Amino acid sequence: MATNGKFEIKQIDDASIPEVVGIKPQTAQPSNPTVTQTVQEKFKAAIAELDVERTALVKNTIENLKPGRPFDQAVIREINKIETRKNRLLVSRFAAMLKKNEPGIMPIVHQIIDI
């Protein structure tokens, strides 16, 4: 459902964004493009690591399903924790990109808000 068309961007404190998987938000625009590449590579690696962890957990759970054995609900909680960490990482990346006023990020954020 669409809102009234006004978008509000709240300022957040850098300390409130959790440092997930060792990624730290940058405060200044780097003058060296290789520094930006390493941040992007770290971000992609962190997302990939979370995906691998979740996939391994799901595969292990599926392999352990046997008739007569009760399903372990703790697995669902663990998968949800991994998904939460991934979502927090994505949100912190969007926040960092918005803070730097990177081109092309504003339309993406507006589309996400509309959803």
* 58 touches 82 (CB < 8 A): no
Of residues 109 and 2, more confidently modeled? 109
Average pLDDT for 60-86: 90
The predicted structure's pLDDT at residue 57: 94
Average pLDDT for 81-101: 91
User: How far is 115 from 111, CA to CA, in rounded Å?
Assistant: 6
User: How far is 6 from 83, CA to CA, in rounded Å?
Assistant: 29
pLDDT tens-digit series, residues 11-62: 444 444 444 444 444 444 555 566 667 888 999 999 999 999 999 999 999 8
The predicted structure's pLDDT at residue 76: 92
The predicted structure's pLDDT at residue 11: 43
Between the CA of residue 68 and those of 71, 74, 77, 113, what are the distances in Å? 9, 18, 22, 45
Nearest to 93 by CA among 50, 32, 58: 50
Flag whether pLDDT at 84 surpasses 60: yes
Sorted by where each begins, the domain ranges of the chain are 33-114
